[in-house]
A and B are shown apart, each in its own frame.
Chain A
Amino acid sequence: MEKPPENEQKGPRAIPTVSAVLEDGAIVEMVHRPTEGRTAFVIWEKDAWRFSGQVELGPRRLAVPYSPHNNILRHPDGRPLLRLIADCEVEVIDPSAPPVPDLPARRERQNGPPPAEGNEPRMTDPQKRYLFRLLAQQGVEGKQAEAHLRDYFRVQNLRDVSKAGASQLIEELIADQKEAGGGAA
């Protein structure tokens, strides 16, 4: 029996997402409930909002919130960085929503490029600016973006990031953006 094409064997691809605006105008924002140790999306559409564990972006693309353990949300020492709706008295409108998968977010992986060593060329200024802009388009901004990059590259100071490592992350972020529905980066 012939095997189906590889892409049909796989389920939809989960894309960790912080925020998005869908084609129909719906606004999706990730929220974090540290007391429950879970993340979810709040979706605003048709003048109403609701919670959901995931959002379909297309036939094979599924936006999922970042893991509650991701360093976007949680400092390596365990302190939460964000408390978006920690104490909101809200009702989950769709209790049948599938549980939030505790996927290791792509950028949570431990095998990010190593820091630059010796005379290895360092991340250039345009690369640094580009990375911050790309992250901002995913909803990761300012100090959060700084912490995220330091953690990803495993450096104390962004000056120690290698040029090659920065290029690699830029390519990944652009690829993610294209998959998530375009964007001029």
Chain B
Amino acid sequence: MELPEAVSVSHLNLYLTCSLKYRFQHVDRLPRLYRAAGMVFGSAIHKALEWLHKERKAGRNPPLDQLLRTFGADWHAQCLDEDIRFANGDDSEKLVFKGKELLSEYYGLPAGRVKDAELFFQIPLVNPETGEVLGIPLRGVIDLIEEDDVIGELKTSLKSWSLADLPDNLQLTAYSYAYEVLFGRPTKDLKVINLVRTKQPKVQTLITGREKKDYERLFCLAKEFLRGIRAGVFIPNRGCWMCKDCEYDQDCREWTGNEEEGGEKDASQHLPAGSRVFQAPAAHESARGARR
């Protein structure tokens, strides 16, 4: 199986959560039949805040109205020509309203001086313990860098995070590692800024840090991720948190295993590399029925 040209943190996270979804999305590149409204929402919030941070980096403090317009425009653009699936009780109007409430809340918070926003990096990943270099670089984007070596990672979610969620967060580890490589000094704080889409919207800030053993673990996970892809290991993780609005639900249900390296699932089937094997409709209908 062909390896990716870089290890992206989001790809790594996706693979660890559901390697079959990783395959559908990044190896087979299956078209998405719809998008979950929550994803569209998070992406529009991100783009609006990226714009705000870049304005603040340039020393400007744009009016709130312009921030809200940016959010609304991105939401509108994403919804064009796309089938957006809303969770129960949600609709476009409600989400746009909620987004504006959250952005207004964020806008009013005291903010550190922005040194950079949406900083792209692609760096070698090295095991700090052994000096081993992963053959494929680590790639990602740091949402926000504030003065005094503080990194901000923006999130949108339906509930608050707890401090217990932070130590194993791979994005924070990767960004902290990248910051050290890029700037030659460790981060002081890693901030998760969580825009919580509850009835009473709120912005939650949690702070953590990273050390050498975290980077070692990141290296090991990335190495195993590549080994898994090379070996064609893609396994559904039915019941995980991603399943409820997964765009590949139907593909997942119809999946009957990965073909062997070289493109063959068994001796009786000759398939091009990357093909998926589907059960006959009757069989898959009955399989779906049995699951219910």
- Mark A residues whose CB is within 8 Å of B: 21, 125, 128-129, 131-133, 135-137, 139, 141-142, 145-146, 157-159, 182-185
Q: What are some 8 contacts across the A-B interface (CB < 8 A)? A: A21-B62, A21-B63, A129-B47, A131-B77, A133-B51, A133-B73, A141-B72, A183-B55
Interface contact A184-B77, CB-CB below 8 Å: no
Bound-complex Cα distance A10 to B60 (A): 30
Beyond A146-B76, A182-B58: 20 further Cβ-contacts under 8 Å? A21-B62, A128-B80, A129-B47, A129-B74, A129-B77, A133-B70, A133-B74, A136-B70, A136-B73, A137-B69, A142-B72, A145-B76, A158-B80, A158-B81, A183-B55, A183-B60, A184-B51, A184-B55, A184-B57, A185-B51
B72 CB contacts on chain A under 8 angstroms: 136, 141-142
B80 CB contacts on chain A under 8 angstroms: 128, 146, 158
Interface contact A128-B55, CB-CB below 8 Å: no
A185 CB contacts on chain B under 8 angstroms: 51, 54
Q: Is B169 an interface residue (CB 8 A)?
A: no
Per-residue CB contact flags for chain B residues 57-97 toward chain A (1 = under 8 Å, else 0) read 11010110010011011101110110000000000000000
Interface contact B76-A142, CB-CB below 8 Å: yes
Bound-complex Cα distance A184 to B58 (A): 8
Bound-complex Cα distance A142 to B75 (A): 9
| Least CB distance, B53 to chain A, in whole angstroms | 8
| Least CB distance, A153 to chain B, in whole angstroms | 14
Interface contact A145-B58, CB-CB below 8 Å: no
Interface contact B54-A184, CB-CB below 8 Å: yes
Interface contact B73-A145, CB-CB below 8 Å: yes
Interface contact B69-A141, CB-CB below 8 Å: yes
Q: Size band of the B side of the interface?
A: 20 to 34
Known: A21-B63, A182-B60, A184-B57. A141 touches B73 (CB 8 A): yes
Bound-complex Cα distance A135 to B73 (A): 8
B76 CB contacts on chain A under 8 angstroms: 132, 141-142, 145-146
B57 CB contacts on chain A under 8 angstroms: 184
A146 CB contacts on chain B under 8 angstroms: 76, 80
- The 4 A-B residue pairs with the shortest CB-CB distance, nearest first, are A184-B54, A136-B73, A132-B77, A132-B73
Task: Name which of A21, A132, A142, A185 has the most chain B CB atoms within 10 A of its CB.
Answer: A132
Interface contact A133-B55, CB-CB below 8 Å: no
B74 CB contacts on chain A under 8 angstroms: 129, 132-133
Bound-complex Cα distance A133 to B70 (A): 5
Partner of A137, one of B47, B66, B78: B66
Bound-complex Cα distance A157 to B60 (A): 36
Task: Name which of B58, B77, B78, B80 has the most chain A CB atoms within 10 A of its CB.
Answer: B77
Bound-complex Cα distance A131 to B69 (A): 13
Bound-complex Cα distance A139 to B68 (A): 12
Bound-complex Cα distance A10 to B34 (A): 52
Partner of B47, one of A133, A142, A157, A183: A133
Partner of B70, one of A21, A137, A142, A157: A137
| Least CB distance, B195 to chain A, in whole angstroms | 18
Q: Which residue of B lies closest to A181 (CB)?
A: B60
Q: Which residue of A lies closest to B48 (CB)?
A: A133
Bound-complex Cα distance A157 to B205 (A): 42
